[in-house]
């Protein structure tokens, strides 16, 4: 067998070609009785319908959560969830929080700088290559 | 010379063209073999196929699924011909549905969100999107599951990927071509794509679940996957190991196979409802935009021999390896940079910790740059582009083949 191929799977690059919004669902939890939900209730009454209509790719659910603080929970394509407690907030503040959840990638918060060094992430391999003295076992040369 | 095994070329990248061939093979009408056990199973299947129109009438399918239902109708007519040999008296019992009814599709928030998230054209109805999510293991009726659509979609995705690879990289050897095609539209990739789209899988199928989830009956626990899944080895030694995972059966289907069938069905449905342009855009945006470094797919065993054969074939001067630079020859970690030259032309360059390793790597790099030749962008005209009068057709380069076959 002169030439064999190595099995690979291509990697998705969101935004090159198609862009898929990473936030797939927003859950709004409110309480009818408690005062901390006052702003949230007003947001649900006045702003939510417009938000849902202008963002058709996000599934919106509203459900009561009696005797609890109001919470907005975002569910993301990567399977993670992010919840923000919006107690005592005004509708204008809640709009900002919703925007935050909508534009989030769903990834865990990470420091972009680690131990004083810049973390560079690229899916392309370095031009120079990484030299290592210990090659894979069973092969004489790593080509 | 490159010998193209036509049967492999057509068959290997595709599952069986007619999904019902599997049924017929189990009980060939001309065979004298008698088997007691599968007969009841076959009767059940035949029964289900014959009765699917009655079920369809009962559930009063909406008239919006025009194109996809029409395609299913043709499949059904062929089925009747196939199974007329086994026609017996019919019974009246019906099976309860295991998947949500198509009528629920319009009320599903998940489905319309998915439709918007993928920016699908409005010509593609929500009901068809729901049907694309129904795997054959949940609903065996071809008029309701995604198998007929997946057949069309599989052919389209395979064709567009193959023509793009062949015109863009005319010298790709066959194993690499198959591996690249698998990397772009193989079931593993499509399963990853399904996850990246945020489509979830049902825990267990049933009529009450949301139609926006991938409807699938999971395989029961066991070692069945281990038996027929040798294809997971990292090396693709020949194209036969690229054959696709098995079709969904009554027992269940793997998440990977069901996800792949969903995306293929979506491509097929786009073709039927919104036309060829729409599928091409879908393929461009979701498949070809993915990142695949082609030079990492090669696995050479004797690159130096291949380079000298190549030079002999092309009439170049025989290749010579020369040391370009070196550092730390007497140290623990020496680096030698070696170039492979044919006359004054440098064919490739490689660095290694020994002279021989540098030479072998340089030869491999020379072969990679030969095989990965790509014509100028303006000269590449895909047959499908020429067919839709988008571009003027130009004859494309066809290479004489791999160096060593």
**For residues B337 and B348, what is the distance between their CA atoms, to the nearest angstrom?**
11
Residue in B113, B183, B189 closest to A59 by CB: B113
Q: Are A74 and A101 in contact (CB under 8 A)?
A: yes
- Inform me whether the C-beta atom of residue A141 falls under 8 Å from chain B C-beta atoms: yes
The mean predicted confidence, pLDDT, of chain B is: 79
Q: What pLDDT digit, counting tens, does each position of B318-338 carry? A: 999 999 999 999 999 899 999
Q: What pLDDT digit, counting tens, does each position of B210-266 carry? A: 999 999 999 888 765 555 554 556 666 554 444 444 556 667 889 999 999 999 999
- Inform me whether the C-beta atom of residue A6 falls under 8 Å from chain B C-beta atoms: yes
Within 8 A by CB and 6+ apart from B27, the residues are B35, B38, B39, B42, B86
Are the Cβ atoms of A5 and B298 closer than 8 angstroms?
Answer: yes
The yes or no reply on domain A23-103 and CATH 1.10.3210.10 is no
Residue B238's closest chain A neighbor by CA? A4
- B124 DSSP 8-state letter: S
What ipTM describes this predicted complex? 0.86
Q: What is the pLDDT of residue B168?
A: 95
Are the Cβ atoms of B179 and A5 closer than 8 angstroms?
Answer: yes
Question: Which chain A residues touch B360 with a CB distance below 8 Å?
Answer: 141, 143
How many residue pairs bridge chain A and chain B with CB atoms within 8 Å of each other? Answer: 144
- B286 DSSP 8-state letter: I
| Domain ranges (residues) in chain A | 23-103
Question: Which chain A residues touch B184 with a CB distance below 8 Å?
Answer: 10
Burial class (CB in 10 A: 0-12, 13-18, 19+), B361: buried
pLDDT at A142 over 70: no
Helices (H), B222-375: 224-228, 255-274, 276-283, 303-314, 355-371
- Inform me whether the C-beta atom of residue A54 falls under 8 Å from chain B C-beta atoms: no
**For residues A56 and A74, what is the distance between their CA atoms, to the nearest angstrom?**
15
What percentage of chain B has pLDDT greater than the value 90?
Answer: 60
**For residues A85 and A89, what is the distance between their CA atoms, to the nearest angstrom?**
9
Question: Which chain A residues touch B193 with a CB distance below 8 Å?
Answer: 12
Cα angle for residues B140, B80, B15 (degrees, 5° grid):
50
- Name which residue leads in pLDDT, B385 or B248: B385
Burial class (CB in 10 A: 0-12, 13-18, 19+), A109: exposed
Least confident of A98-102, B51-55, B152-156: B51-55
3-state secondary structure of B19: coil
Are the Cβ atoms of B116 and A57 closer than 8 angstroms?
Answer: yes
Q: Mean pLDDT over residues B193-211, rounded?
A: 94
Least confident of A109-123, B105-119, B221-235: B221-235
pLDDT at A1 over 90: no
Q: Are B349 and B338 in contact (CB under 8 A)?
A: yes
Pairing of strands A59-64, A23-30: parallel
**For residues B114 and A24, what is the distance between their CA atoms, to the nearest angstrom?**
9
Residue in B112, B285, B303 closest to A56 by CB: B112
Q: What does chain B come to in residues?
A: 405
Q: What pLDDT digit, counting tens, does each position of B255-264 carry? A: 999 999 999 9
Question: Which chain B residues touch A17 with a CB distance below 8 Å?
Answer: 284-286, 288-290
**For residues B255 and B217, what is the distance between their CA atoms, to the nearest angstrom?**
9
**CA distance from start to end of chain B:** 7
Question: A49 — alpha (psi -120 to 50), left (phi > 0) or beta?
Answer: alpha
Are the Cβ atoms of B404 and A2 closer than 8 angstroms?
Answer: yes
Q: Can you name the residues that pair with B327 across neighbouring β-strands?
A: B335
The residues in A 27-46 lying below 8 A from B, measured between CB atoms, are: none
Are the Cβ atoms of B290 and A14 closer than 8 angstroms?
Answer: no
Are the Cβ atoms of B292 and A123 closer than 8 angstroms?
Answer: no
* Torsion angle in degrees (nearest 10) through CA of B346, B351, B353, B357: -50
Q: What is the pLDDT of residue B94?
A: 62
Q: What pLDDT digit, counting tens, does each position of A14-66 carry? A: 999 999 999 999 999 999 999 999 999 999 999 999 999 999 999 999 999 99
Q: What pLDDT digit, counting tens, does each position of B126-165 carry? A: 999 999 999 999 998 999 999 999 999 999 999 999 999 9
Residue in B113, B189, B357 closest to A24 by CB: B113
> Helix crossing, B276-283 with B255-274: angle to 10°?
140
Give the side-chain half-sphere CA count within 13 A for B148.
Answer: 22
What are the strands of the beta sheet with B298-300, ordered from one edge? B235-236, A3-6, B298-300
Q: Are B196 and A18 in contact (CB under 8 A)?
A: no
State how far residue A113 is from chain B, nearest Cα, in angstroms. Answer: 26
- Inform me whether the C-beta atom of residue A5 falls under 8 Å from chain B C-beta atoms: yes
Q: What does chain A come to in residues?
A: 143
> Helix crossing, B255-274 with B66-83: angle to 10°?
120
Residue in B189, B298, B352 closest to A3 by CB: B298
State how far residue B358 is from chain A, nearest Cα, in angstroms. Answer: 9
| CA neighbor of B193 nearest in space, from B114, B122, B247 | B114
- Inform me whether the C-beta atom of residue A93 falls under 8 Å from chain B C-beta atoms: no
Residue in A1, A56, A58 closest to B237 by CB: A1
Q: What is the pLDDT of residue A69?
A: 97
**For residues B259 and B190, what is the distance between their CA atoms, to the nearest angstrom?**
7
**For residues B207 and B189, what is the distance between their CA atoms, to the nearest angstrom?**
29
Domains of chain B: 15-23+40-52+61-87+95-228+237-295 (1.10.1520.10), 298-373 (3.30.160.20)
Are the Cβ atoms of A7 and B404 closer than 8 angstroms?
Answer: no
Q: Can you name the residues that pair with A4 across neighbouring β-strands?
A: B299
Are the Cβ atoms of B300 and A58 closer than 8 angstroms?
Answer: no
3-state secondary structure of B202: coil
State how far residue B202 is from chain A, nearest Cα, in angstroms. Answer: 14
Q: Are A1 and B175 in contact (CB under 8 A)?
A: no
Are the Cβ atoms of B189 and A141 closer than 8 angstroms?
Answer: no
């Amino acid at each position: 067998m002169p030439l064999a191929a190595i099995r690979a799977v291509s990697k998705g690059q969101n935004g090159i070609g198609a862009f898929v919004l990473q936030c797939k669902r927003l859950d709004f939890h409110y309480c009818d009785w408690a005062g901390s939900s006052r702003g949230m209730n007003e947001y649900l009454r006045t702003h939510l319908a417009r938000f849902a209509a202008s963002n058709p790719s996000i599934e919106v659910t509203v459900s009561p959560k009696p005797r609890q603080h109001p919470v907005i929970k975002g569910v993301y394509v990567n399977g993670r969830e992010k919840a923000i407690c919006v107690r005592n907030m005004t509708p204008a503040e809640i709009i900002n929080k919703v925007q935050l959840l909508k534009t989030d990638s769903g990834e865990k918060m990470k420091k972009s700088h680690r131990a004083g060094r810049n973390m560079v992430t690229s899916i392309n391999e370095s031009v120079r290559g990484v030299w290592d003295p210990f090659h894979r076992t069973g092969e004489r040369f790593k080509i | 010379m490159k010998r193209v095994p036509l049967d492999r070329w057509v068959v290997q990248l595709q599952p069986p063209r007619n999904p019902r061939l599997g049924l017929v093979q189990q009980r060939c009408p001309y065979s004298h073999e008698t088997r007691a056990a599968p007969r009841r199973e076959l009767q059940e299947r035949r029964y289900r196929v014959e009765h699917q129109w009655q079920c369809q009438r009962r559930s009063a399918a909406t008239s919006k699924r025009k194109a996809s239902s029409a395609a299913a109708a043709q499949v059904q007519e062929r089925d009747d011909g196939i199974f007329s040999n086994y026609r017996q008296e019919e019974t009246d019992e019906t099976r309860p549905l295991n998947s949500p009814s198509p009528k629920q599709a319009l009320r599903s928030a998940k489905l319309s969100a998915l439709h918007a998230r993928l920016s699908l054209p409005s010509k593609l109805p929500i009901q068809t999107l729901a049907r694309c999510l129904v795997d054959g293991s949940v609903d065996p009726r071809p008029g309701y599951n995604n198998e007929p659509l997946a057949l069309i979609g599989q052919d389209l995705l395979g064709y567009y990927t193959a023509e793009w690879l062949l015109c863009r990289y005319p010298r790709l050897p066959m194993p690499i071509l198959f591996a690249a095609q698998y990397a772009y539209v193989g079931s593993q990739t499509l399963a990853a794509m399904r996850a990246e789209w945020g489509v979830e899988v049902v825990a267990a199928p049933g009529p009450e679940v949301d139609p926006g989830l991938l409807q699938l009956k999971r395989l029961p626990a066991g070692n069945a996957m281990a038996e027929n899944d040798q294809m997971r080895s990292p090396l693709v030694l020949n194209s036969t190991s690229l054959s696709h995972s098995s079709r969904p059966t009554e027992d269940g289907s793997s998440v990977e196979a069901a996800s792949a069938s969903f995306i293929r069905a979506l491509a097929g449905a786009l073709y039927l409802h919104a036309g060829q342009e729409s599928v091409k855009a879908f393929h461009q945006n979701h498949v070809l935009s993915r990142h695949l470094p082609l030079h990492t797919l090669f696995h050479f065993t004797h690159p130096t021999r291949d380079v000298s054969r190549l030079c002999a074939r092309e009439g170049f001067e025989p290749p010579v390896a020369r040391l370009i630079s070196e550092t730390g020859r007497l140290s623990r970690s020496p680096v030698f940079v070696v170039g492979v030259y044919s006359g004054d032309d440098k064919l490739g360059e490689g660095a290694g910790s020994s002279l021989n390793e540098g030479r072998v790597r340089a030869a491999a790099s020379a072969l990679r740059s030969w095989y990965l030749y790509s014509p100028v962008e303006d000269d590449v005209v895909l047959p499908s582009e020429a067919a839709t009068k988008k571009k003027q057709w130009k004859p494309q380069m066809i290479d004489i083949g791999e160096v060593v076959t």
